[in-house]
Structure 1
Amino acid sequence: MRLLAKRVGLLRGWRRWLAAFAAGAAGALSMPPFGFLPALVVSLAPAIWLLDGTATGDAPRWAPLRGAAVLGWCWGFGYFVAGLWWLGAAFLVEADQFAWAMPFGVLGLPALLAFFPALGFILARLLWLPDAARILAFAFGLTISEVLRGHLFTGFPWNNLGLALGQNLWLMQSASLVGLYGLTFLSLVIGAAPAVLLTGKTMRTRWTAPGLAAGLLVALAAFGLWRVPAEAVASVADVRLRIMQPNLPQDAKFNPRNRDVIMRRYLGLSASPGRNGDATPTHIIWPESAFPFLLHRDAGSLAQIATLLGPGSVLITGAARMDDPLPGEAVGKFYNAIQVIDEKGTILGAYDKVHLVPFGEYVPKFLDALIRAAGLRQFVHIPGGFEPSEKRTTLSIPGLPPVAATICYEAIFPDEILAEGSRPDLILNVTNDAWFGQTPGPHQHFAQARLRSVEEGLPLIRAANTGISAVVDPFGRVVNNLPLGVEGIIDADLPVAEPLTLYRKWGRFSLTATLSICLIIVIARRRHQSSSP
């Protein structure tokens, strides 16, 4: 078995690149919906051995860094292709217009994202050591690259490596202490440590790092077992939720000719008798972009909604909205919004999406001009795309505590859930994953939204067009849900929020401190190694 590590490290040329690609692809099995944690070891241990093989004796000084960069890119390309292949489904919804762009989504985006782990491998190689301390160097480098991936160029933290620990109920509880990026560091340390089993020179050096990693995994699980209460979380008084999941195919959802059929479906599902004689809901929740028209400018549809709602009840729904055009403009600005409507059909308030999906909800103006000049159009059926809101706000809804509203993609960003000011008492996420059909994508999206509950100590209410709709308590427990690809309703109470988590108080400081200590340890070991005779 020890020969395996040496042979992997000695691979050269295309065989080395292929091994890195395969190792990265294996890591995707640790992500939802599979959640196979040992796949992280299968992915990260070969990465350690391949990086070992970049030390090339008399080669030029920068050769190991160039080798690390290529390895990191190949590893990342494999990881993102295997984890994000389902993006191709979106290009087939209107295949006659967008099938040509499918390779750019399925291969082009992973190719760009792979530059982040390439940077992580370079950082790791700069700090590399011949002993178990290289596990810390590797975890440090890839954690930095994952933080950068989540923030640069509008950010894309999808399938962050920390999600490997962020799916299991017990293991995910550590997110209440260190958040997603803290889980990233822990996942990397635990997943990479077994590499030392096949490279250590003595029995002690072979088993110390893997033993500590196993102990760390047990400690995380024990903390989770202690933190999650045996009993259900109490409910907010006088709140009865109804989440409607219509399961509409994407090609029907944005067709204006289907407006009447869609409204009948929404209204019929929302008025369905509750299970076991459940009381009339106080809050009905519909998913993102619920209508192929502007609801706030359609008096007839607002009147239909008014007939659905009982006294004192409200509808919370995703709906595109448009501002009045400014002087000299033909049309106003469009926003992807959540709107709150009362029993009189009056719109009481709205939240406009802040973090838009690049190329899905907007295209930079110079690219938009090129697309139109070529006779093509962008994905969104909105002239010019959506405008982002300038500031995140807490949504006020009658009968509910303050709400941290998120629309679709926004729920994957751990630092963008809460607005400045007082803390809300629940997270609301409306989304439309119909673009991606019955693929891993919607499962991955739900898992990331669910982890926000643990980080913030807040319940999550999620309405998704095709699923997964759910009520999640502040510990990440799924109280009720509708699976992917079914229509129906969820009737549920609203769990109360937990006190402010330690992550929310000092999570960023804890990650910075951990990475700083890690860096100090590795640098100290490198100096010791260089000064030893």
Structure 2
Amino acid sequence: MFKPDPNHPRHSLIVRWVRIGLALLAGVATALAHPPFGILPGLLGYPLLLLLAERSTTARGAFWMGWLAGFAYFFIGCWWVAEAFLVNQDQAWMAPFAASLLPMGLGLFWGAATVLYRRIAPAGVYRVLVFAACFALLEWLRGHVLTGFPWNPAGASWKAGSAMSQFAAVAGVYGLGFVTVAAVSAFALLRGPESRRDRVAGVAAGVLVLAALWTGGAIHLAQARLQFTDTLVRIVQADVPQESKWTPEAYQGIVDRYVNLTARPGDRVPDVVIWPEGALPATANEVFGAGSPDAVAIARAMRPGQTLLVGLGRGEADVTAEGGARYFNSLFVLQDEGEAGLRITAIYDKHRLVPFGEYLPMGRLMSRLGVRSLVHVPADFSPGPWPAAIAVPGAPPAQPLICYESLYPGFTAGGDDRPGWIVNVSNDAWFGRTSGPLQHLNLASYRAIETGLPVVRSTPTGVSAMIDPWGRIVANDRLDPGESGVIDALLPQPAAITLFGRVGDLLFWLAVLGSLGFALPRPGIRRRPAPSQA
């Protein structure tokens, strides 16, 4: 019988390529666990990554295992960013670079997690908790470093509104991610050096945690009582593709679409009408300026006392700013006052801006290097203050989250001063009919679970939806990509204040720091020895 010679150069090469393939497989599998794919067995990619990190002979090898897995994960999860560069044919050449450079950068966080684990992991079943803690710590950093990019954290693998997702009301999406990775990584113990009894006990504990997540979430949903306010909200989705917005001849047609949908008759006159971010290809200064025919047309579509929420860019004179003005991505609250026309009652300025989309990091340096002309960001938007609720006539106070901001936990007050609902306006038209808008819907729905507040979501091309305080779409009130129309729905009442709303990431940090404590040197606990083979 043939036996491979471990000392043969070809054997080492084969082992190296097998490990590379397994690392890529781990990343692909975990990415496919996320909606809209929903292949949940892909979560077993986490224990596979744990084993690959442990069996690396060097910290460098462990880093590359994590980086390769992270690259594959973010390539599958974020390939849709390339679609934004195809809107403008002058930028189409950048699409392949965007689709590859972003996952290459984000993969560094996975590489850092695996190398950290490789350096500190103790022997024994508790190393599963150490791995989950290292991974969760770097997930949190990914959501905060350089303003962060918290797209598809591990906790969001579960579809929002499902039983498994409800733990986010307790510990947030990062806490849910820690528990998820720790539970599924217990399956790595099946290939560990521990005694049979310890291996079985560890795997059983992981299965029990998953069962507890499902049981607790199912009970939570069974006890949920969806009730509604008297506020009728109309969500407008005009289905305007991004590539067709910026021609002068298309402008009037776009205005007419939004105006006609706003004025469409219904069983009852809506109290609040919501248009998405970037609804019109113009600034608020132009749309609502003196003598603007657009403002007149919008006012005619409204009824006296109605409120309109619309996302538009705006400019503001500022002699201290470069060029003498500052620019903001804003949400406007306007009330129809009959013959007096529309009155702006509140403005929310987007706080968390998109790097390379709304501002250029290290702008002066990048401009000198010519990067600004490549990414077509002629002037940076200015960030608004920390997100705060705004008054909405005809409805409870609302917390606006513009587009990218809906990815971030903690932007909505969750204690006694929390608002009555969250309004999320987003321009997902940039990403066409890809997985991006569907994943964005899932991520935004986690803000409902964390806060116990309904989320009203409006986009130009989908997905627009009314989301209840448990992350579920109300009565299938949604407009998918490519659909045009309106959703008339009563605004749900908030659920009880969640534990996460009261304490934020406190439980997450207690779990992470407590688990990392198992890596501290203690009598009788030895560090896991390095493997003898690459």
Q: TM-score, normalised by structure 1?
A: 0.89
Q: What corresponds to 1:336 in structure 2?
A: 329
Q: Aligned to 2:313, what secondary structure does the other structure show?
A: strand
Q: CA deviation at 1:444?
A: 0.9
Q: What corresponds to 2:76 in structure 1?
A: 82
Q: CA deviation at 1:148?
A: 0.6
- Please give the alpha-carbon distance, in whole angstroms, between the structure 1 residues aligned to 2:318 and 2:224: 53
- Please give the alpha-carbon distance, in whole angstroms, between the structure 2 residues aligned to 1:9 and 1:193: 29
For 1:51, the aligned partner's letter is A
For 1:65, the aligned partner's letter is A
Q: What corresponds to 2:392 in structure 1?
A: 397
Match of 2:364 among 366, 371, 375: 366
Cα 1:121–1:99, aligned 2, differ >3 Å: closer, same or farther?
A: same
Judge which range, 114-123 or 189-198, deviates more: 189-198
Q: Aligned to 2:300, what secondary structure does the other structure show?
A: helix
Q: CA deviation at 1:31?
A: 1.1
Query: How many residue pairs were aligned?
Result: 509
Give the conservation status (yes or no) of the 8 Å contact 2:35–2:159: no
Q: CA deviation at 1:527?
A: 4.8
- CA deviation profile, 1:269-300 (whole Å, cap 9, x unmatched): 222232xxx21111110000111112232621
Q: CA deviation at 1:199?
A: 3.2
- Please give the alpha-carbon distance, in whole angstroms, between the structure 1 residues aligned to 2:349 and 2:495: 27
Cα 1:154–1:421, aligned 2, differ >3 Å: closer, same or farther?
A: farther
Q: What corresponds to 2:472 in structure 1?
A: 477
Q: What corresponds to 2:40 in structure 1?
A: 37
- CA deviation profile, 1:417-470 (whole Å, cap 9, x unmatched): 349993211111000111111111111111110000010111101001111111
Q: CA deviation at 1:10?
A: 11
Q: Aligned to 1:340, what secondary structure does the other structure show?
A: strand
Q: Aligned to 1:385, what secondary structure does the other structure show?
A: coil
- Please give the alpha-carbon distance, in whole angstroms, between the structure 1 residues aligned to 2:528 and 2:77: 43
Q: CA deviation at 1:200?
A: 5.2
**Quick check: 1:22 aligned with 2:25?**
yes
Q: What corresponds to 2:86 in structure 1?
A: 92
Q: What corresponds to 2:268 in structure 1?
A: 279
**Quick check: 1:135 aligned with 2:128?**
yes
Q: Aligned to 1:181, what secondary structure does the other structure show?
A: helix
Give the conservation status (yes or no) of the 8 Å contact 2:415–2:502: no
Provide structure 1 residue ranges, at least 5 long, that are not aligned to the other structure: 1-7, 57-63
Match of 1:233 among 213, 223, 226: 226
Q: Which structure 2 residues correspond to residues 30-69 of structure 1 after superposition, within 5 A?
A: 30-41=33-44, 43-54=45-56, 56=57, 64-69=58-63
Q: What corresponds to 2:138 in structure 1?
A: 145
**Quick check: 1:258 aligned with 2:255?**
no
Give the conservation status (yes or no) of the 8 Å contact 2:414–2:501: no
Cα 1:375–1:349, aligned 2, differ >3 Å: closer, same or farther?
A: closer
- Please give the alpha-carbon distance, in whole angstroms, between the structure 1 residues aligned to 2:12 and 2:256: 62
Cα 1:528–1:352, aligned 2, differ >3 Å: closer, same or farther?
A: same
Q: Which structure 2 residues correspond to residues 104-253 of structure 1 after superposition, within 5 A?
A: 104-165=97-158, 167=160, 169-199=162-192, 201-229=194-222, 232-237=225-230, 239-253=231-245
Instruction: Using the aligned pairs only, state the percent identity.
Output: 35
Cα 1:166–1:140, aligned 2, differ >3 Å: closer, same or farther?
A: farther
Q: CA deviation at 1:250?
A: 0.4
- Please give the alpha-carbon distance, in whole angstroms, between the structure 1 residues aligned to 2:317 and 2:249: 24
For 1:412, the aligned partner's letter is L
Give the conservation status (yes or no) of the 8 Å contact 2:81–2:98: yes
Q: What corresponds to 1:5 in structure 2?
A: none
Q: Aligned to 2:425, what secondary structure does the other structure show?
A: strand
For 1:236, the aligned partner's letter is T
C-alpha RMSD over aligned residues: 2.6
Cα 1:200–1:10, aligned 2, differ >3 Å: closer, same or farther?
A: farther
Q: What corresponds to 1:61 in structure 2?
A: none
Q: What corresponds to 1:407 in structure 2?
A: 402
Q: CA deviation at 1:176?
A: 0.6
Q: Aligned to 2:373, what secondary structure does the other structure show?
A: coil
Give the conservation status (yes or no) of the 8 Å contact 1:394–1:419: no
Give the conservation status (yes or no) of the 8 Å contact 1:333–1:386: yes
Q: What corresponds to 2:458 in structure 1?
A: 463
Judge which range, 465-474 or 506-515, deviates more: 506-515
For 1:297, the aligned partner's letter is G
Q: CA deviation at 1:227?
A: 1.3
For 1:286, the aligned partner's letter is W
**Quick check: 1:416 aligned with 2:411?**
yes
**Quick check: 1:506 aligned with 2:503?**
yes
Q: TM-score, normalised by structure 2?
A: 0.89
- Please give the alpha-carbon distance, in whole angstroms, between the structure 1 residues aligned to 2:188 and 2:517: 22
Q: What corresponds to 1:60 in structure 2?
A: none
Q: Which structure 2 residues correspond to residues 407-446 of structure 1 after superposition, within 5 A?
A: 407-418=402-413, 422-446=417-441
- Please give the alpha-carbon distance, in whole angstroms, between the structure 2 residues aligned to 1:144 and 1:166: 22
- Please give the alpha-carbon distance, in whole angstroms, between the structure 1 residues aligned to 2:396 and 2:527: 59
Provide structure 2 residue ranges, at least 5 long, that are not aligned to the other structure: 1-10, 530-534
Q: Aligned to 1:20, what secondary structure does the other structure show?
A: helix
- Please give the alpha-carbon distance, in whole angstroms, between the structure 1 residues aligned to 2:324 and 2:527: 67
- Please give the alpha-carbon distance, in whole angstroms, between the structure 2 residues aligned to 1:82 and 1:200: 33
Match of 1:448 among 443, 454, 478: 443
Q: CA deviation at 1:265?
A: 0.6
Q: What corresponds to 2:348 in structure 1?
A: 351
Q: CA deviation at 1:351?
A: 0.6
Cα 1:512–1:419, aligned 2, differ >3 Å: closer, same or farther?
A: closer
Judge which range, 166-175 or 75-84, deviates more: 166-175
Match of 1:292 among 275, 281, 285: 281
- Please give the alpha-carbon distance, in whole angstroms, between the structure 2 residues aligned to 1:132 and 1:162: 22
Judge which range, 324-333 or 255-264, deviates more: 324-333
- Please give the alpha-carbon distance, in whole angstroms, between the structure 2 residues aligned to 1:398 and 1:147: 37
